[in-house]
Amino acid sequence: METTASTIPTNTVGLSRTRRVRKAPTDEQREVQKTPESELMSVEEYFDMVWDRYLEKYEKLQD
């Protein structure tokens, strides 16, 4: 049986193959239009809506 020698050094460091590249922001990303406060919902309104959805799904599971 022949012995073969490895050509790969044993003390190599593994490098990450993924590279993170930042893309240049587009015009749409630069000009973010904010929603007026009059159109925003309050925290209570939001959680009431979430709670109602939860109850609806729970009721459907019970049927």
Reading the block at residue 36, the tokens are 């007026």
Give the residue, 47 or 27, on which the prediction is more confident: 47
Residue 49: partners with Cβ closer than 8 Å, 6 or more residues away: 41
Distance CA 49, CA 55 (A): 10
* Residues near 41 by beta carbon (within 8 Å), at least 6 away in sequence: 49
**Is residue 8 over pLDDT 80?**
no
* pLDDT for the residue 2: 63
Matching residue, tokens 């049986």: 1
Q: Is the pTM of this model over 0.85?
A: no
